[in-house]
Structure 1
Amino acid sequence: MARISQHQLPHDEYHGVVIVGAGLSGLSAARILLEHDMQPLVLERESHAGGRCMTAVHNGGAYDMGAQFFTVRRPEFQHWTDAWIGAGAVREWTRGFPDISGISERASHPRYCGVAGMSALPDALAKGAQIRLNTSVKRISEGRACWLIDVENGTRIKADIVLLTPPLPAALRLISDENTWRMGALLLPLTGVEYVPCIAAAVALDGPSGLSAPGAIRVDGAVVAWLTDNQIKGISPDAPAVTAHASRAFSERHRDTPLDVVEKLLAEALARFLKSPITSLSAYRWDYGIPANTLQKNFYLVEGRAPLYFAGDAFCGGQIEGATLSGIAAGKAITERLRLSKNTAGRPVGG
């Protein structure tokens, strides 16, 4: 079990490694450190770990609100996926999805999903990790050979190494103005990554959705981009539960529209795609849905007075695979750095 706390932190706390963000990158980095007997502290502003791998319960139904599935391209990620399958956390869902006309894409590589929802991935990675939820980082700034992390509740945490894993625009905003100015040239390569927003909706129905197996369709319309029947998918056995993702154009146009207005517009647009009446609809706004572009790196390191690492879905090609592999790569780099530091500290002087 992950050690998760939702209480306030003591003042002037110290940790060797602090990871900001308990999404897949942060958790996979923590997993690597844990496997080498190192215990980082993971800070997460939300009430749940996993980032966009979020399975929510609404009116008795279960909904994957963010990522719907993941694919595997690289052997290292296949190794992790096979382990999740062996543990009963992940299964192959399908090898292709139909569009709105019913024409399926040509069967190709597997699309995997969590057996009980996509939150199975962060749940597997979080085992044994020290995670503090509802802990919003306000600012990080350099101290003397350390980083000072100011939390919104007034706490200050000192760390020898910090790994930032939120979406890059959000991660960069955490760095103090003084450090942003001083390290401007070093941070510049990270400033060009942009994200596409996505509005998702949990849609409860009065009966079957009318979608056929495997339980999802690519709509690619002006308002609706994607539909998943979570009952057919197998994660909501007790209630009809549909996840809808709005199109990029709709999500961008309604970035600041009140959610009750968005919900009404989505309900009107969704009615034509669903066999049964909608009984309730709850919208959720992902401000950072997916990166529009990514960096050709596994992670990024800024060498200041103390090391500052960046990882996440803006690296390694993006998506779930890229986010996880980026965290793994950063975790390995931090582990090696600490190992070398320990060995150097233990050497006799002279001779």
Structure 2
Amino acid sequence: MQLAVLGAGAWGTALAIAMARRHRVRLWCRDPAQAQQITHERCNRRYLPEVPLPEDVAVTADFPEALAGADLALIVTPLAGLGATVAALARERPNLPFLWACKGIDPERLALPHRIVTEAWPETLLPPRAGVLTGPSFALEVARNLPTALVLAAADAHWAKHWVEQLHQPRLRLYAHDDVVGAEVGGALKNVIAIAAGVADGLGCGLNARAALITRGLAEIARLARALGGRDETLMGLAGMGDLILTTTGQLSRNRRVGLMRATGKPLAEILTELGHVAEGVPTTRAAVALARRHGIEMPIAEAVHRLLFEPDLAAEAVVEALLARDPKFERP
């Protein structure tokens, strides 16, 4: 089987490397200079320099060439590029099934990825055969063939199960699911809670505080998922709890690093420049808080992260103390 991996950031590169262990792969780069660099050096020097690209992974900046002969496309752009990539795919290969592997919520439209896909897809065409690939996964570990488990969710459970069977590997285990909304909300909101965990760790709040943040953060994620049509049980699996645990505790987490740096007093603009990669938790925080307010949902951790990110004069210590000073509650998810 031949796959087109659309997007050559760290995650796209890692998936190309992993999928090449079982399938033929073409990796599409938006930037021709990047495509040339990866082709000549056989590594993605900017985003994933630690792991070489297999010789049989073809790299191109030509979109039609990337899709030629493909049986499935994996869209692995940042969320901001999802709509344009889907529209281009519809023009070039409207019958090609695809997965998107980007996480977040559009802060302008307050849209999850599946809605971005729907809005980008021409109404004159039949609905796309598509789903989301998500779950706890650091790109570097996937590229190094370390054991990983992911969720492939689609509205059509049989379709999801078919592609799980096609893509599953012993060290890249895939599980089929039919709750697209729950899987997407889990993948998006865990980044917000990871920023909070980074702040707490940076301030030396301790492991008890981290455990409390993860647990209460999961409750906030579940509230928003329910309001948007997702199911509670989805958040107890890989797309929810699994991704949340990894991102709030792992040293490779970019969003946790945002929190660690914010705890030192650095402004957001400086943090993002230093990071050098996309941290989807930043725009997702703005979107999550807006959605919570729209639906009347209490999300105090997300609100605190919003203040830390977008009110630069606030000290991290003051925001944490205000969160801790909230009135006692009856524990409910």
* Fold match (TM-score > 0.5): no
TM-score by length of 2: 0.22
Tell me which protein shows more strand as a share of its residues: 1
Structure ID, larger Rg? 1
Larger relative contact order (C-alpha < 8 A, sep ≥ 6)?
Answer: 1
TM-score by length of 1: 0.21
